[in-house]
Chains A and B, each alone.
Chain A
Amino acid sequence: MKFLSEYRDSALVKEYMDQLHKVVTRPWTIMEICGGQTHSLVKNGILEMLPKEITMVHGPGCPVCVTPLGIIDEAILLAQKPNVILCSFGDMLRVPGSVKSLLEVKAEGGDVRIVYSPLEAVKLAKENPDKEVVFFAVGFETTAPANALSLVQAEKEGVTNYSILASHVLVPPAMEAILSDPESRIDAFLAAGHVCTIMGMNEYDPIVAKYKVPVVVTGFEPVDLLQGILMAVQQLEKGEAKLENQYARVVTREGNALARSVMNDVFDVSDRAWRGIGTIPMSGLEVNHRFAAYNARNKFHLADTEVKENPDCISGAIMKGMKKPHQCPMFGTRCKPEHPLGAPMVSSEGACAAYYHYSRVPQEV
C-alpha cells in the first residue's frame, strides 16, 4: 500500500538494524512515549530484533490507560442516566471502572455509542433534541483539537444538549515528571509523532536543554521506529543531546497552528491525575469558562472522586520505565486484558496488553 509499504520494507529495516549494530557500543535505555509506538514495536517483533545493548521502555502515551478510574466511573454514571446518550471512542468502552465497564452499561440498556469523531456526537445531539449527548473526550494533544472543535461547532449551531466529559492529558509535563523522578533511567526519548503534528517541536527544546536528553520525534511504522532509535543512539554514542525530527514527512517545527488555536479557544491547561502515575501539575486540559455550558462536569454536577487503584498493580513503575510488564508477578496470571488490575493492561496500546497479546513466544523457540 502506497505510503505504508515503504515504511514496512524489510530491506530498509535490515539496513537500519545493521547500522544500529555498528553504532552501538554501550547499553542504552530509550523510552518511546506513545502507545501506538509500543504497539508497533511489539506487533512487528522489533524488540526481539534490536541489539541487546538497547532497552526500549514503554512510556505513558496510551490515552485509555492513563484515564483515572474516577473519571471512568463518572462516564459510567452518566451512561446509566435514562436521558443520556454517551459517546466514546471504541477502545474506551471495554475499560473497567471500579464496578463495571461502559460495555456492561450498554448491555444493561444504557445508550452507549462508538463514534469516530466528536462531530458525529454533535450530529447525534441534533438528531436527538430530547436527549443529552455526552462525548467522553479522552486523549493527548492529538484528539484535543477535534474535541475542542465539537464544542465550537455545537455553539455555532445552537446545539445545547451536547457536552463533553474531558480527560485530556499533555505529553511534555509527563516527560518532565518521568525525568525528574530520581529513579528514572531514561537515556533518550522517541517523542510521539502525531502529538508533534499538532504541537510542533518547540515545547521539547526546554526539556532537551534542562535534562540533557536526546529527543527524536518519531513515527509509527517499523522503518520510522528503527530510524528514530538509530538517531537517538547516534546522539547518545557521541554524547550529544539534541531535538531531532525523524517524522519530517508529517511533523513540522511549528506544528498545526490552526488546530492549536481551537484547542486554546476551548481548553485551559490544568493539573491532571494520570492513572498509575498520580497528579502531574499543568498536565491536562479542561473546558474553559467560556464553554462551561458544554462541560459535562458542570451540566451534571459531577465531582471528580479519587478511586483507589489495586495495590498489586505496578503500573506506575511500568509507565515510568522502571519495570517491564513481564517482571510483574501479576502479569498474565491475575492480571489479563479480560480482568486488568491496572492501567497498562486495559487498552491494546498499553504496554502490558501489548506484551500479553504479542510477545509470549516460549523461551525454547
Chain B
Amino acid sequence: MKPSVAFNCPLPKLDFDVITMGHGSGGLLTQRLLQSGVFDLLKNDHLDEQHDGALLPLNGTVAFSTDSYVISPIFFPGGNIGELAVNGSVNDLAMCGAIPKYLSLAFILEEGLRMDEFWEVLVSIRQAALKAGITIVTGDTKVVEKGKGDKIFINTSGVGELHPRAKISYRNIRPGDKVIVSGNIATHGIAIMSQRKGLEFETTIASDTAPLNHLVRSVLDVAGDAIHFLRDPTRGGVATVMNELAGQSKLGISLIQQHLPIDEQVEGACEMLGLDPLYVANEGIFLAVVDPSMADSALKVMRTHELGTHAHIIGEIASEHPGQVVLQSAIGGRRVVNYLTGDQLPRIC
C-alpha cells in the first residue's frame, strides 16, 4: 500500500535509491547512509556524540525493556513499523509504571529496501519519539542479503524512571479488583489483517498504535498504588494477558462480554474472518487491574484522555475458579477463555 504518513521531511537527494549490503559494512557507505540525513533527522545531544553508547542521567528505580518488530506489511493503515517500534517500547515501560526516558534503535535492513520507504519509517520514528517524549540515544544498522529478512526489522530498548507512586505487580492483585480496558479491543490486528495478501478486504479500520505513557501517567497520578497491574495486550490479545495474570496470581478472572468495547467495523471483520476479538492483537490500549475503591476514579481519568474515551470496566478478579478466566457471554451463559494453541487461523466456513 502507499505510505500513509505525510512527509514533513522530504527525502534528501542521495546517490543511491536502495539499501545495499555495503550500507551495513561499517565503511564509507554506512557513513554515507547515516550522514544522508538519518542523524539530522533524529538529532539530539546524545546521538551527536556518535559514540558506542550513551551516558544517561537517571533517578531512582529504572525500568528497562526490549522488543523486536517484524511486521508485514511494514506500512499499514494507521501507521508503520517505525512508529510501532517506538510506541511498543514506550508502552512496555509505561506498563511497568515507568516514565519513558531513553530509547535505543537498531535496524536490520534487507538488501534492496527502497530508501524512500526507509526514510518514511525514520520520519515516523522521529514523530513517534517526539509524541511520546522519549529520546533516541543510541542505535545500530545492519544489512542482510535479499531473502534473509523481510524489508526491515527493528529492535528498540527503552529505559524509564519509575513513577513515584507506581507499585505494579501481579502480586498486588486481590479478589474484587476491577479489570479496566483503556479502549476498543482488536483494532490493530484487524487493520493489519485487512492488508495481508490473500485476505485483503475493504475497510477504513486503522491501527490504534499510540504511546500510552501520558495516559498511564495521569492514571498513576490519580490512583497511584491502587493500580495493581498494567499490561498492554499486544500479541495474543486480551485473552492471553488475562490467562497469564490468572496463572501467575492463582486467582480467577471474570469478564463480561457485553462490556468489552469494540468498534463495530472491527467486530464485523472478526465475524467475517471467524476470529475471536479477545485473541486479536492490540497496540494502543492497556489493561489495568485496579483496587475497587479507586476503579471509578481511574476510569474517569482515562475517559478524559483522547486515548481512553472508550475505556470500560470489563470484569473483576475473583477467588473462584483460580487460574482460570471465565467469560459471561452476552446471552448470560458462561464459558472458559483459554490460551490459544497457536495463531488464530481463519476458519473454513
Q: Do A and B bind each other?
A: yes
A residues at B contact (CB < 8 Å): 1, 4, 8-10, 13-14, 36, 42-46, 48-49, 63-64, 89-94, 103, 113-116, 120, 138-140, 142-143, 194, 222, 336-338, 347-349, 356-362, 364-365
Q: A336 to B347, alpha carbons, bound, how many Å?
A: 19
Across the interface, which residues of B come within 8 angstroms of A44, CB to CB?
329-331, 333, 335
B347 and A91: CB pair below 8 A? yes
A49 and B332: CB pair below 8 A? yes
A-facing mask of B48-72, CB < 8 A → 1, else 0? Answer: 0000000000000000000000000
With A1-B264, A361-B324, A365-B326 known to touch, is A349 a contact of B331 (CB < 8 Å)? no
Q: A42 to B334, alpha carbons, bound, how many Å?
A: 9
With A94-B342, A360-B324, A364-B320 known to touch, is A138 a contact of B332 (CB < 8 Å)? no
A–B Cβ pairs within 8 angstroms, 13 of them: A1-B267, A4-B271, A13-B332, A45-B328, A45-B329, A46-B331, A89-B346, A90-B345, A94-B345, A114-B198, A114-B199, A120-B198, A359-B336
The residues in B between 116 and 151 inclusive whose CB is less than 8 angstroms from any CB of A are none
Across the interface, which residues of A come within 8 angstroms of B199, CB to CB?
114, 116
B347 and A43: CB pair below 8 A? no
Q: A194 to B345, alpha carbons, bound, how many Å?
A: 20
Among all A-B residue pairs, the 5 with the closest Cβ atoms: A45-B333, A90-B345, A90-B346, A358-B335, A13-B331
With A4-B271, A8-B331, A120-B198 known to touch, is A365 a contact of B347 (CB < 8 Å)? no
B335 and A362: CB pair below 8 A? no
Q: A365 to B198, alpha carbons, bound, how many Å?
A: 44
Q: A364 to B320, alpha carbons, bound, how many Å?
A: 8
Across the interface, which residues of A come within 8 angstroms of B324, CB to CB?
360-362
Closest to B276 in A: A43
Write the nearest CB–CB distance from A252 to chain B, whole angstroms. Answer: 19
B332 and A14: CB pair below 8 A? yes
B349 and A63: CB pair below 8 A? yes
B336 and A361: CB pair below 8 A? yes
B321 and A36: CB pair below 8 A? no
Across the interface, which residues of A come within 8 angstroms of B328, CB to CB?
45
A115 and B198: CB pair below 8 A? yes
Q: A10-B332, A64-B348, A361-B336 are in contact. List 5 more A-B contacts (CB 8 A).
A: A10-B330, A90-B348, A357-B336, A360-B336, A362-B321
B331 and A338: CB pair below 8 A? no
- Check B218 for interface membership: any CB of A closer than 8 A: no
Q: A1 to B330, alpha carbons, bound, how many Å?
A: 13
Q: A337 to B341, alpha carbons, bound, how many Å?
A: 7
- Check B44 for interface membership: any CB of A closer than 8 A: no
Write the nearest CB–CB distance from B253 to chain A, whole angstroms. Answer: 12
A93 and B331: CB pair below 8 A? no
Q: A361 to B337, alpha carbons, bound, how many Å?
A: 10
Write the nearest CB–CB distance from B142 to chain A, whole angstroms. Answer: 24
- Check B31 for interface membership: any CB of A closer than 8 A: no
A103 and B342: CB pair below 8 A? yes
Closest to A340 in B: B341
B348 and A43: CB pair below 8 A? no
Closest to A46 in B: B333
- Check B268 for interface membership: any CB of A closer than 8 A: yes
Report which of B329, B333, B348 forms a contact with A92, defined as CB distance below 8 A: B348
